């Protein structure tokens, strides 16, 4: 296990270098002039030239990558051209909002997707199965932005039950950056209620979008497990249905859903650009959207690196969980 962890951590370096190089290549060939976009339309030519020199935009691509890596080794992701603050500070400020939204949405998607997938497989071709498959189809096929606009239209514009967007409009002392946790620590109940109300629509939208994938994978994996020989043998021995499903079938059917969970968690934590923009959620996705519009290369590259780290570590932890769920899996070891 230790050898496997070490190899995966070492492979992280070339993966991030490849992503970094790809982002710089894309930024290098885009027709827009970053320095002109940062300086503004009324800036003088000498001001634009100073920006090019400051951010090494006149240097060849390999020198730009070199300067960025040199600063990165010192924990410096550069200065955002739009906020005029260190990119690392910006990401620290926006990351808690994305984490808070992700935790709620991810929990909801598991609570909806896994039980429905199991129930759909156990009661195959029943009414419950048909309803679950329709929900899964809607979840995987409904565009995220359309679903977000739809729930805003229904629950905010028509019914007026929930706010359309934002994170918290009540004054709140910032301690950890997590609104719910800060409101509990400061005993600010109005802020807690307002934060929870504003969390409902975006978290449900994200959860429904992810639930469809998880439901389908769980159902398919459970159906395969229920038809396997060891489950047939367990039933032939007269074991109760609950024991057959949860002790024998479910344990062996969890690997594919766990893979989907790891991918979806990394995707959610990396920041959903469209959703956070629609709901005016001050997370990393919205920060990235604004940076792309402003051609803010330091912010875009910093966001991309953080997103890559999140995705890599999400899959890394999923691989570790494989061996904990199924002892037959020995990561990094040859079969004996």
Closest by CA position to 90, among listed 274, 314, 288: 288
Q: Is the pLDDT of residue 173 over 80?
A: yes
Cα(173)–Cα(170) distance, integer angstroms: 10
The token duo for 128 is: 């419950």
State both tokens at 295.
């051609």
pLDDT band at 77 (very low <50, low <70, confident <90, very high): confident
Q: C-alpha distances in angstroms, 207 versus 64, 111, 174, 214, 275?
A: 40, 9, 27, 10, 12
Q: Compute the mean pLDDT over every residue in the chain, rounded to the nearest whole number.
A: 81
How far apart CA 126 and CA 320 sit, in angstroms, is 36
The CA-based dihedral angle spanning residues 168, 171, 172, 178, taken in that order and rounded to the nearest 10 degrees:
20
Could you tell me where the beta strands, DSSP code E, fall in 108-237?
Answer: none
142-164 residue pLDDT tens: 888 888 899 999 999 989 888 88
Determine whether 133 is exposed, middle or buried from the number of CB atoms within 10 Å of its CB (0-12, 13-18, 19+).
middle
**Mean of the pLDDT values across residues 271-291?**
84
Q: Shortest CA distance to 52 belongs to which of 70, 38, 32, 71?
A: 38
For residue 323, is pLDDT > 70? no
pLDDT (0 to 100) of residue 144: 83
Average pLDDT over residues 121-127: 86
pLDDT digits (tens, 9 = 90+) for 207-232: 888 888 888 888 888 888 888 777 77
Distance separating the N- and C-terminal Cα atoms of the chain: 15
pLDDT of residue 328: 60
Label residue 120 exposed, middle or buried (CB < 10 Å: 0-12, 13-18, 19+): buried
Span 45-70, average pLDDT: 80
pLDDT tens for 4-55 read: 677 777 777 788 788 778 877 776 666 667 777 777 777 788 888 887 887 7
Higher pLDDT, 131 or 236: 131
Percent of the chain whose pLDDT exceeds 70: 92
What's the pLDDT score for residue 239? 76
**Is the pLDDT score of 243 beyond 80?**
no
Let me know if 121 is exposed, middle or buried by CB neighbors in 10 A (0-12, 13-18, 19+). buried
């Amino acid at each position: 296990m230790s050898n496997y962890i070490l190899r995966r951590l070492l492979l992280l370096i070339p993966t991030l270098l490849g992503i970094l190089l790809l982002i710089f290549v894309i930024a290098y060939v885009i027709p827009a002039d970053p320095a002109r976009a940062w300086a503004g339309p009324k800036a003088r030519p000498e001001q634009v030239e100073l920006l090019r020199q400051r951010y090494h935009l006149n240097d060849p691509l390999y020198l730009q990558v070199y300067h960025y890596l040199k600063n990165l080794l010192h924990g410096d992701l550069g200065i955002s051209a739009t906020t005029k603050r260190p990119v690392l500070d910006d990401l620290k400020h926006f990351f808690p909002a994305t984490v808070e939204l992700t935790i709620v949405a991810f929990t909801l998607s598991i609570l909806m997707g896994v039980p429905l997938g199991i129930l759909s497989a156990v009661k195959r071709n029943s009414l419950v199965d048909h309803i679950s498959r329709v929900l899964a189809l809607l979840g995987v096929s409904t565009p995220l932005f359309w679903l977000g606009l739809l729930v805003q239209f229904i629950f905010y514009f028509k019914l007026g039950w929930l706010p359309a967007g934002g994170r918290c409009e009540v004054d709140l002392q910032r301690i950890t950056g997590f609104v719910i946790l800060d409101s509990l620590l400061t005993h600010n109940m109005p802020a807690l209620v307002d934060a929870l109300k504003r969390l409902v629509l975006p978290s449900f939208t994200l959860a429904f979008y992810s639930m469809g994938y998880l439901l389908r994978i769980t159902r398919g994996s459970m159906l395969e497990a229920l038809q396997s020989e060891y489950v047939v043998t367990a039933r032939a021995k007269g074991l109760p249905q609950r024991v057959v499903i949860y002790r024998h079938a479910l344990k062996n059917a969890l690997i594919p859903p766990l893979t989907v969970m790891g991918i979806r968690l990394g995707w959610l934590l990396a920041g959903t650009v469209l959703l956070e923009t629609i709901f005016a959620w001050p997370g990393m996705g919205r920060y990235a959207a604004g940076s792309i519009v402003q051609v803010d290369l330091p912010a875009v590259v910093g966001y991309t690196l953080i997103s890559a780290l999140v995705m890599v570590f999400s899959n890394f932890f999923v691989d570790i969980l494989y061996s904990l769920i199924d002892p037959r899996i020995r990561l990094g070891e040859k079969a004996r």
